[in-house]
């Protein structure tokens, strides 16, 4: 059964679950999961795990992310993006009154550590039910604010659209945003528009980075269908990019597999640490044995990874 991490460039119009379903067919396994949902409107990097590598997904969800986005200021929608119904439209004079300085000040106020109220149409659960399901059922949903970090809110372009030809006056802002996990870019568009008094929503969103992984290294669904498991990055390769590494000998790997503690008198305290058994070539790749916790000279298994049943068939991976 194939195991590893897969980086997919999700096209617009598909749900994250749609991508998982296609990966299951291409890899020939039901055991595929993803870390970090992308809305159907959004495109870009979706990280998937297959077989035992799904155990790494927990550690991918919390990584910082980068997005490229277009925000349309001048109208608010029910979903804070272009897929929702317009609930308010600013008059042209109000839009025209928004100066470049006011726009820059509004962006500065949304940079750094901020309290953000997630969009009501989100996957957050309220009393065991997804918020978007409650909204679609006609319920009023007001989610609690959460602390998020916007480490960069870089404006790439600003376009001012007049009200000619029957269009609504608006300001379109293209931006690149670096943020912590749990940030809603739709909510940034909503809050920027609200702060300027003209409303706002998202019209385009592309995720370009998750932690150390970039969309430039992702594959298309067409490539996945053609090449399948050869595109998987091995758990060892992924772990080396995420965690400090402890190289273990075969005897230590067996001990970890049996739940035994390792004696590591010179290893600094850390958690998690990737315990990796190096391959000797000849079809025997490096193997992620476990993620361990090292405390006071002892290593304890947090998450174990079974041996590849057919290492000779493993393909070298590339995230």
Q: Which residues are catalytic?
A: 39
Bridge-based pairing state of the strands 287-295 and 65-73: unpaired
Q: Torsion angle of alpha carbons 101, 105, 108, 114, nearest 10°?
A: -160
Half-sphere exposure of 10 (CA within 13 A, CB side): 31
Closest CA to 45 of 34, 29, 54: 34
Q: What distance in Å separates the CA atoms of residue 82 and residue 220, rounded to the nearest whole number? A: 25
Beta strand extents in the chain (DSSP E only): 4-10, 32-35, 43-50, 65-73, 75-77, 86-89, 112-116, 125-126, 129-130, 146-161, 170-179, 200-210, 213-214, 245-247, 262-263, 270-277, 287-295, 298-304
Phi, psi of 82 (to 5 degrees): -70, -10
Span between the terminal Cα atoms of the chain, in Å: 19
């Amino acid at each position: 059964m194939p195991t590893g991490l897969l980086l997919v460039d999700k096209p617009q119009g598909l749900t994250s679950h749609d991508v998982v379903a296609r990966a299951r067919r291409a890899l020939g396994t039901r055991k595929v999961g993803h870390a970090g949902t992308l809305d159907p409107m959004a495109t870009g990097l979706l990280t998937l795990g297959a077989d035992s590598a799904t155990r790494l997904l927990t550690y991918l969800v919390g990584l910082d992310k980068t997005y490229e986005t277009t925000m349309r200021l001048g109208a608010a929608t029910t979903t804070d993006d272009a897929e929702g119904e317009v609930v308010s439209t600013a008059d042209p004079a109000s839009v025209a009154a928004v100066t470049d300085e006011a726009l820059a000040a509004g962006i500065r106020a949304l940079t750094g550590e901020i309290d953000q109220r997630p969009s009501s149409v989100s996957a957050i659960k309220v009393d065991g039910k997804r918020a978007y399901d409650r909204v679609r059922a006609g319920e009023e949903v007001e989610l609690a604010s959460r602390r998020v970090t916007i480490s960069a809110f870089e404006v790439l372009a600003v376009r001012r659209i007049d009200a000619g030809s029957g269009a609504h006056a608006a300001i379109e802002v293209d931006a690149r945003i670096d943020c912590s996990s749990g940030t809603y870019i739709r909510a940034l568009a909503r809050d920027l528009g609200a702060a300027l008094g003209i409303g706002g929503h998202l019209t385009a969103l592309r995720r370009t980075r998750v932690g150390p992984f970039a969309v430039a290294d992702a594959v298309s669904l067409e490539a996945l269908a053609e090449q399948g498991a050869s595109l998987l990055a091995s758990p060892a390769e992924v772990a080396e990019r995420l965690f400090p590494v402890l190289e273990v000998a075969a005897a230590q790997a067996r001990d970890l597999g049996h739940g035994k503690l390792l004696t590591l008198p010179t290893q600094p305290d850390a958690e998690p640490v990737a315990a990796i058994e190096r391959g000797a070539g000849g079809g025997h790749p490096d193997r992620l044995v476990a993620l361990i916790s090292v405390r006071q000279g002892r290593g304890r298994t947090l998450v174990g990874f079974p041996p590849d049943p057919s290492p000779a068939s493993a393909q070298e991976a590339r995230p």
